[in-house]
A = this chain, B = another copy of it.
Amino acid sequence: MHLGIDIGGTKTDAVAIDGTGQMLAQFRISTGYGAPGVLDTAEQAVRGMIDRLELDLPDIKSIGIGVPGRVDSAHGRVVHAVNLGVEGLNLGEDLASRLGKQVHVENDVNAAALGAFHLMDANGWPEGGWPITPTPSSLIHSMAYLNLGTGLAAGVVIDGSLWRGSRGTAGEIGHIPVDPNGPVCPCGQVGCLELFASGTALLRQWPSEEQRPAQHLFESAEKGDAEAIHVRNGLLESVASAVRILVLAVDVDLVVIGGGIASVGSPLLEGIRNVLEEWAKHSAFLTSLALAERIRLVPSGVPIAALGAAFAGAIGTAKAEATVRVA
């Protein structure tokens, strides 16, 4: 039994998977604020899952936590998780000492990337379960998970493993400037991609009190609202730019799109595909890259980051045990 917890800005998802990757249970709780609140939430999620499945702690083989902010997975430390009110927290160590059990901590977008990699095969989402370790017959060796949330960031899987980068910032393409005449970004730069392709970008251009502003934008555009069409097309172009950057820089097999805006579903996916196909008409180079064929969407309702956290915990714990055995 492997537990995966995804700590979001307002909600925390918990899942349990068995050794073959089959999901056995799933629930959602509210996230507490600040370092103590986040720590309590994580403990509550773990203990809640154990109660629900009528297990004891020793039945749990691994625990993986996904959390926003800059994460040092080797030491289980998270810093600058602004939405959670966390400046710095030794989440791995502190939770492990409360539970008496090792905990693996991963950035939430990286966890989602690992989740997408293990859940997705070349043609889509498998019907049943999924293997925890990629089978040698898999056609997919690399993947980027592109998260369209409050901001824009990606997680990168290369040769079947999460690639966090030198300082844990691989996939931070939201802060690549794409327009010298664009607005100033809170990061201090000008014209960052995130200013054109994110939840924040959407609300700036399409202010809305709706519960689901992205759906509202796409529905308004579909009904013929000229401003909505303009904003929607700009958003689609910018997400397509993010896909192009990921493929040109890393040349991943697939780019899987998730996050709040992804809940728009097929109008989003088809819209991005149309932009990529339009671009390819004017460039033999882009045609050769087959960008439109490489994108997928996370199906609505799949707790991809929590599942990925469970995979990350299982892989991290297996590695740690192997190291102990060798030593």
Residues of A in contact with B (beta carbons under 8 Å apart): 141-142, 156, 158-159, 161, 163-173, 175-181, 187-189, 241, 244-253, 279, 282-286, 288-290, 294
Chain copies in complex = 2
Given A170-B249, A170-B251, A165:B177 Cβ within 8 A: no
> Would B187 and A166 count as touching, CB distance under 8 A?
no
Contact partners of A247 in chain B: CB under 8 A: 169
Given A176-B245, A178-B178, A180-B179, A251:B165 Cβ within 8 A: yes
Closest beta carbon of chain B to A236's beta carbon, Å: 15
Contact partners of A164 in chain B: CB under 8 A: 251
> Would B250 and A188 count as touching, CB distance under 8 A?
no
Residue in B closest to A169 when the chains form the complex, CB atoms: B251
Contact partners of A172 in chain B: CB under 8 A: 248-249, 251
Contact partners of A253 in chain B: CB under 8 A: 166
Residue in B closest to A181 when the chains form the complex, CB atoms: B181
A288 vs B244: C-alpha distance when bound (angstroms): 26
Closest 4 CB pairs of A and B: A165-B251, A188-B283, A249-B249, A170-B251
A164 vs B253: C-alpha distance when bound (angstroms): 11
Closest beta carbon of chain B to A242's beta carbon, Å: 10
Given A166-B141, A169-B289, A187:B251 Cβ within 8 A: no
Residue in B closest to A182 when the chains form the complex, CB atoms: B180
Closest beta carbon of chain B to A117's beta carbon, Å: 13
Q: What are 9 A-B pairs with beta-carbon distances under 8 A?
A: A158-B158, A158-B163, A159-B161, A165-B250, A170-B251, A172-B251, A178-B180, A188-B283, A249-B249
Residue in B closest to A174 when the chains form the complex, CB atoms: B248
Closest beta carbon of chain B to A140's beta carbon, Å: 9
Contact partners of A175 in chain B: CB under 8 A: 248, 285
A246 vs B169: C-alpha distance when bound (angstroms): 11
> Would B249 and A176 count as touching, CB distance under 8 A?
yes
A181 vs B252: C-alpha distance when bound (angstroms): 28
Contact partners of A246 in chain B: CB under 8 A: 249
> Would B241 and A165 count as touching, CB distance under 8 A?
no
> Would B249 and A171 count as touching, CB distance under 8 A?
yes
Closest beta carbon of chain B to A77's beta carbon, Å: 15
A181 vs B142: C-alpha distance when bound (angstroms): 33
> Would A252 and B284 count as touching, CB distance under 8 A?
no
Contact partners of A169 in chain B: CB under 8 A: 247-248, 251, 289
> Would A286 and B188 count as touching, CB distance under 8 A?
yes
A33 vs B176: C-alpha distance when bound (angstroms): 39
> Would A282 and B189 count as touching, CB distance under 8 A?
yes
> Would A252 and B289 count as touching, CB distance under 8 A?
no
> Would B244 and A176 count as touching, CB distance under 8 A?
yes
Contact for A173 among B165, B187, B249, CB less than 8 A: B249
